[in-house]
Structure 1
Amino acid sequence: MEKEYVRLISGDGFVFILEKEIACLSGTIRAILNEGIFSEAQKNECTFPDIRATLLEKVCEYLHYNYRYKNQLDIPKFDIPPEMVLELLVTAEYLEA
């Protein structure tokens, strides 16, 4: 079975390509992609004009981390630079990540 990929586009134009299964760990991304009424669902792409690339990249890293370590007991620490914590918290809340 071939994997399906999605494109996440930051407000500053950077594109991140993830497996759809991993991207859909975010409730917001899942809702956008699974609702057939959005053009994003047909194109398998989500644009986030208010999210900078540095934040979206960290969200993508976290989604991969979450996917890799789900249902495991011994989970390594996920590093977040202190200067990014507040903005990342707001972004994660919006994306339901």
Structure 2
Amino acid sequence: MGHGYVTLVSADGFEFVVDEEAACVSKMIKSMMQSSGGFSERRDNKITFPEISGKILEKVCQYFYYKLQYTDSRDSVPEFKVPPELALELLMASNYLDC
């Protein structure tokens, strides 16, 4: 797996370009990116999520960077804030993405 970028596309067409290392916080994305099965996602470094809205995918991307930054931190870890109105949808997306 290279140190490049991957584009994540929401159901409503928003595109988020994230560092591949950050995107691989998601076990599902990591599996797709490491697969030798010739997934078009691997070739194009672009993954579309027809069931995840832009506002949720944006928060998921923020979480990828948060998780990457604080995973091995010995300092106190700030809370990852989730607006209550996004909580359920975000939980479903994180479950789907396995992160």
- Do they superpose with TM above 0.5? yes
Find the counterpart in structure 1 of residue 48 from structure 2.
47
Q: CA deviation at 1:70?
A: 1.2
Q: Is the 8 A contact 1:55 1:88 kept in 2?
A: yes
TM-score, structure 1 normalization = 0.94
Q: Structure 1: give runs of 5+ residues left out of the alignment.
A: none
Give the whole-Å Cα distance in 2 for the aligned partners of 1:20 and 1:3: 6
Find the counterpart in structure 2 of residue 80 from structure 1.
82
Report runs of 4+ in structure 1 exceeding 2 Å deviation. Answer: none
| Change in 2 beyond 3 A, CA 1:32/1:4 | same
Equivalent position SS for 2:65: helix
TM-score, structure 2 normalization = 0.92
Q: CA deviation at 1:32?
A: 1.4
Matched length: 96
Identity of aligned residues (%): 42
Give the whole-Å Cα distance in 1 for the aligned partners of 2:55 and 2:39: 26
Q: CA RMSD in A?
A: 1.2
AA partner of residue 49 (structure 1): P
Which whole-Å deviations, capped at 9, do the CAs of 1:4-31 have from their partners, x for residues lacking one?
1110000100000011011011011111
